[in-house]
Homo-oligomer: A and B are copies of this chain.
Amino acid sequence: MKISVEGKPREMRALWYDAGKVVMIDQRLLPSEFRLVTFTKCSEVAASIKDMTVRGAPAIGVAAAYGMLLATRDGSELEAAGRLLKSTRPTAHDLFYAVDFMLDAARSGRDPEEAARSYADSIVDKCRKIGEYGEPLIKDGANIMTHCNAGALATVDYGTALAPMRAAWNKGRKMFVYVSETRPRLQGMKLTAYELLNEGIPHAIIPDGASGHFMRKGVDAVIVGADRIAANGDFANKIGTYEKAVLAKELGIPFYTAAPISTFDFSIEDGTQIPIEDRSEDEVTMIDGHRIAPQGCRALNPSFDMTPNRYVTGIITEIGIVKPNEVGKVRRMLQ
């Protein structure tokens, strides 16, 4: 992705591995500060997933793969390292997928660095394919709405939900993107707007509650990411996604989620079985270290919600756009 560092444009991934070190952009500080952080231990990578230095399902998966690679280098017991990584966050499926991928690689005697690198490269490659399959959905002059950040920062590079926008933009198509700010952590305002600004794609930040207002005014498609997709096409994504799906159905607007196949969890039949992470209420009641809510008031902070398959027009993947009722076919194809 394009990133402006001290005013100079650079091409960069959200995280990478270099000579025994995992390097990542600290996404908690963007956009006000660009800082790279470096880890040499698996436990540090696990902490970086938990504290959201790195976030976004595919990027969490790659961080976990690199974490497993660090574990092979410091002599840690791999199964234990995998358990530690899997315990960091409960919802994103890529985390579990990536740990199992590295455990399989170790069992088959594959070089761990090659395995982790190839995992990361394959995610970026899949995102580019998601862009290719998704870009025809964005007609010239389209108004698109997205939520949270399913861009390069969430996926190592290129993005899932943002991939079709990048691809259409790179083909010269004009568009306008409504970015819902995504309380409580504001990943839409802080990260997606930042990526779109860096790419030069016209956009505006809106409060989450204004989504329906602007969808009724004229949105041609809603495209969001996914943290876990069940075997029936139900999916979990950042809190606020379900509301946009219901509004899109009510208003006749196509509603897409974009994700690599690593986000599919074929082991669960439907979305009710996806664990939803509850995070600290301080994320809601405090902003920038200051308490905003009255002292003594409680808050609820589910990090994700679940969107039933009936609201989903299609799932944009690296093998094409899959209808929710075709997920079973994909599963059989992969077996």
Q: Please report A residues at the B interface, Cβ cutoff 8 Å.
A: 31-32, 147, 178, 180-184, 186, 189-190, 193-194, 196-197, 203-214, 216, 238-243, 246-247, 249-250, 284-285, 287-288, 290-302, 305
Contacts and interface: CB of A to CB of B under 8 A. Distances in A.
B297 A205 contact: yes
A208 B243 CA distance: 10
Contacts of A288: 287-288, 290, 292
A162 B331 CA distance: 50
24 contacts: A31-B294, A32-B292, A147-B209, A183-B183, A183-B208, A186-B292, A189-B285, A190-B294, A193-B293, A193-B294, A197-B294, A197-B296, A197-B297, A204-B300, A205-B293, A205-B297, A208-B208, A209-B238, A209-B239, A210-B301, A212-B243, A243-B247, A246-B250, A288-B292
A243 B242 contact: no
Contacts of A250: 246, 249-250
A293 B31 contact: yes
A117 to B, nearest CB: 31
Contacts of A186: 292
| Closest 7 pairs (CB-CB, A-B) | A209-B240, A31-B294, A212-B243, A183-B207, A213-B305, A205-B299, A208-B209
Nearest to A294: B31
Given A183-B207, A243-B243, A288-B292, 4 more contacts: A183-B183, A206-B300, A210-B240, A249-B250
A299 B239 contact: no
A297 B193 CA distance: 7
A184 B204 CA distance: 15
A207 B292 contact: no
A192 to B, nearest CB: 10
A51 to B, nearest CB: 19
A207 B247 contact: no
A243 B209 contact: yes
A311 to B, nearest CB: 9
Contacts of A290: 288
B242 A194 contact: no
